[in-house]
Structure 1
């Protein structure tokens, strides 16, 4: 059964009425094509108005929608081949990060992403998409492997944050993320990073240093989640909507502040309503960005990557 967010319910009610109308018409052999067209138009108009005026908190809700595609869902749809690689060669494998060589319409790539789970056992197995240090070390190992064989790197970001547990800190969580930031900055191959859901804090940034950093339309990217921000400032989660507005964490905000390089539009209503269409849009953008980045030399890409990230947050007072 489809999960509905509060602002989706009026649309769902109209869609339910439309289905009832079609069913009754079929049962009674009545022509209601005119009424169906009118109701279809009303539904389309309501969708456009609703999703054109979403608040920042509503975008956050959409990014977490339980029906939204995750990394492996996109890999299944955009890749003709995918050979998953495991382990960081130091501690163990981290199921919260998946990665391996893949083929997208004949283009060989290394694709790496954070993976959440859908059912309870899978969520526990994937640690709710929160990577441990070995996950970031595995990601870096795969990136270095891609560099060795001169293959572009694609990272798909969707995490509520790096795992904050004591054991993760004991195994060097901060160092693992910091090393990824440093090493990704000087990778010789094209690196494309795409936020497909939640992009929280260093957990997201640990695989998000690239030539192109893109966000899907209904995603967020911030140093802290609205709930955590609310709990720090107001000592309560009840102000998460105000926190989301203050954080300016949506794709539009990030593009305006020059913290990302582009936004990938989603199907009307969100990626969770049409996985196939969203996958086509994602694949088209990935192939376009690879073709553009391969026109540059490795040193050009590295210099531009460093300049881009070093210029963030820099301003001059006159």
Structure 2
């Protein structure tokens, strides 16, 4: 059959779809079953496409169907075009999702009350059409919300488990807010052993921070006494300022201005650092709107001044 150049507009795109199925299956019968048509209808569509293009696309025998050289070329071009169309449709859908999407997340209280507002403000400015809902939850409830798919993702501490995927955002060292009536020091750090001899003010057992502290104590055969347990970091700060005990806090929760009656001391021997992460179920893929919010979290959740100081000089501690 002599090749005749035909205008592209005459080629029926539906016929190309049938061609792709026949080429993939090397069978008119199987292609007919997959496209819910009769074999004669599929064969007629291929003949129509060949007439439009002016070339034979398949070698047909009683035993098999295989592509001609021209068919191979068309297959390569059609597959490439299909990928480009799919990519274009995906981008269009993502753009639409970004204009009218929804994002739901859960966040640990210490991060929510100190760092989350500036991230949400930036996100709302860039994407005013996206509805964002936030749940402020302690660790156990936060993990339940991710596990039960009540939220797109969580923001909280990383733990040792294979159930969740943890995407690190920042490291958050633990500090002690110690009333000066318990200790006199010129240092900027305090050992866990020294702390264990003071009355401690702790977040409640439902928090991962409390679990980290208890594990470190147990590893060193230390015990501690506490008369007060709270959910909010600000309550611990108030209690420590009143001289009721040494408050154990992540750095993000430390007050910007320290009361002169207290020391702010980094916990050492061992250094205790929690990793704040975006938490999803393992294997879960986020849609475009949540992904964009995660990008902003990476950029804005860490303190830029703190990062710059640590890059320039490091955070030197006294032991």
TM-score (norm 1): 0.27
Q: Which of 1 and 2 has greater Rg?
A: 2
Q: Compare relative contact order (CA 8 Å, sep 6+) and give the higher one, 1 or 2.
A: 2
Larger proportion of helix: 1
